[in-house]
Amino acid sequence: MTLKLVSSWDLWPDLNYRPRLVLDFGERPHILKPAPTPDEYTIPSSSREWLYVEHQAGGVLCSHPRFLCTTLTPTPPSLIGMHELTKLWYGRNIMLTTSLEVVNQYQKNLQDLLGVDCNWSYPALQEGVYPIDAECLPMLTAETFPTNLDDLFKMDDADRYLGCLNRWRLLIISENSD
């Protein structure tokens, strides 16, 4: 299956007042391979709708991360917490690397507002992209997924092995202040 790269604003023109929760296939450590592209994996035709999305993030620092992701339906309390979180972090111009103090504050906000964490996913933190550890999936949506998220794709054994490196992450995608 070939997916066309699409802008997050074309997909979700209402991001300024309605953040999105996505399950992202994520990046593998740079020493192994760059971020995946849709052509690298076989997406079963019976699976969820997968998107290849580019999003402007990082505030005025302007990064353009790409995600191989599927959109999730958050529970009503999760949606409220997501909205509050994105309001708190809007305009902070955070991009890719930041201080431990900022990451700790973000982690505290995640725990307070959504009851989730970012122990493994925090390196993706930037304005407009708010990462959450994939094991928190059942806490944010009522949708069901396989126990091993790698079962969502057809992949070889080597790529399955790399899944132990926290390939999957949840992301809240929201408006960027730039």
Domain spans in the chain, listed from the N-terminal domain onward: 5-173
Asked whether 67 and 53 are in contact (CB, 8 A), the reply is yes
pLDDT in tens, 34-74: 455 656 555 655 568 888 899 999 988 888 998 889 999 99
pLDDT in tens, 22-40: 999 875 544 344 455 656 5
The span from the CA of 10 to the CA of 13, in Å, is: 6
The span from the CA of 55 to the CA of 33, in Å, is: 21
On the question of pLDDT at 156 being above 80, the answer is: no
Residue type, position 18, single letter: R
To which H or E segment does residue 157 belong? helix 157-162
pTM of the model: 0.88
